[in-house]
Amino acid sequence: MYPGVLMQFIDRTSITVKAGDGGNGKSAFRREKFVPKGGPSGGDGGRGADVVFVVDNNMNTLLYFRYHRRFKGENGENGDIKNQYGHNAPTCIVKVPPGTIVKDADTGEVIADLTAAGERVVVARGGRGGRGNAKFSSSQNRAPTFAELGEPGESRSLSLELKLLADVGLVGYPSVGKSSIIACVSAARPEIAEYHFTTLTPVLGVVRVDDERSFVMADIPGLIEGAADGAGLGHDFLRHVERTKVILHVVDASGVEGRDPVEDYHRINAELKKYSEKIARRPQILVANKMDLPGAGENYARLEKLAAAEGIAIFPVSAATREGLAALIAETAKALDRYVEEPEKTDGIKVYDADKDEDPERITITRNDRGDFIVSGKALEKLVAMTNFGNDEALRRFQYIWRMKGIDSRLKKRGIKEGDTVHIGAMEFEFRE
């Protein structure tokens, strides 16, 4: 048995990430003895740090992110004299548990679905280092005085959602004995009491089959009719069943609470199917619990007929006496061996691909509520962010590119007038002819 660990289970959280800015390029000239008119020698800045999520099998909850909400990559090093390049910043690694879905908090777009140990994804790209003035030397301008500023790193708000990666999921109505079963067959120690919804968070336990084999079992909080529509704890925890390979469907064979175990079976399966057809197709084993209580024998005969009609195995057990649990675990291990993985699909949601962004050269012009003109375009906004407007030569270069892209004429077609305000990224200025 693995030692049980008491840990707060967190399966949803929100964080912000900021990749490192690129280092500034250097404006410098050679000043060496016997070289009175040395050329430009400013080096490029280094690249800012990417923020990268990496799957760590030692994590099984998002608890860490409750206390760490902001992650920032280091900036690239500035360029230096004598064509010395600045160092690239080291990657900012953020560890996440397997089963983490990463979404853009603003758009809801899925950035990544991380399941395998060591799997990694860039969630925010570091800025490119600015070019030093040596890079702008040409036959027309042998002594450029300007250098680029570093490109700002990406910044975004993220939503993290965890879907448990358990081999086996225990489902059933509240108080049918799921927590007692997982406590008997693993080192997990969930709270157990005589009232509904004792288990308010999923509980993971490692079940040892023999000296060489084990599997992970998840006790999913009790489902009720209407769970797929959000009743009870349905919306919060049904997703944790999605990645299980085998479902142990636990019913109270005794019916001591006045419930019919056969009806409970059909109702829970209806909720699973309503939530996901894929879940409904998972192999199931019917577990008739509380066989030590009066009335269980009569109901078990009906449950046997149900199992035969459904074409599934049934096991009579008692978590109180541990009777039948060994046989149940052995059959569960066999079911896992027979399981054939279905291809993982993202339910109609496009997974983010940084390489398929819109055309960076595309420029759009809109107006805000105040009537200001908003000029948008990935390449243009990058140019603004990396231009040192305090340098006259850099300003002239920007004005030249501005005219070459025909932005002046496009603004005039949109009705811009002298003195109107123009916004490009974080920069704003008054339009002048």
Range with the poorest average pLDDT among 87-91, 229-233, 250-254, 345-349 = 229-233
Most confident region among 159-173, 195-209, 280-294 by mean pLDDT? 280-294
pLDDT for 225 equals: 44
Quote the pLDDT of residue 201.
Answer: 60
Higher confidence at residue 222 or residue 64? 64
Whether residue 347 is predicted with pLDDT greater than 70 in this model: the reply is no
What pTM does this model have?
0.69
CB within 8 A of 168, min separation 6: which ones? 207, 215, 216, 217, 218, 244, 245, 246, 247, 248, 332, 336
CB 205 within 8 A of CB 219: yes
Query: Which pLDDT band holds residue 2 (cuts at 50, 70, 90)?
Result: very low
The HSE-up count of residue 238 (CA atoms within 13 Å, CB side) is 26
HSE-up of residue 136 (Cα within 13 Å, Cβ side) = 21
| Strand 246-252 to 373-376 pairing | unpaired
Arithmetic mean of pLDDT, 114-138? 93
Contacts of 280 (CB under 8 A, 6+ apart): 269, 272, 273
Strand order in the sheet with 364-367: 364-367, 373-376, 421-424, 427-430
pLDDT band at 351; cut points 50, 70, 90:
very low
Query: Cβ of 88: how many Cβ atoms within 10 Å?
Result: 20
Beta-bridge mates of residue 51: 92, 124
Domains and CATH numbers, the chain: 9-162 (2.70.210.12), 168-338 (3.40.50.300), 358-430 (3.30.300.350)
* Other CB atoms within 10 Å distance of the CB of residue 71: 19
Query: For residue 101, is pLDDT > 80?
Result: yes
What is the mean predicted confidence (pLDDT) over 381-392? 92
Mean pLDDT of 274-300: 89
Q: Per residue in 16-68, pLDDT tens? A: 999 999 999 999 998 777 666 678 999 999 999 999 999 998 887 788 898 89
Instruction: List Cβ neighbours of 273 (8 Å cut-off, separation of 6 or more).
Output: 279, 280
Residue 224 confidence (pLDDT)? 44
- Containing 334, the helix (H) or strand (E) segment is helix 325-338
| Cα separation values, 354 from 111, 118, 255, 349, 361, Å | 9, 20, 55, 15, 16
pLDDT at 417 exceeding the cut of 60? yes
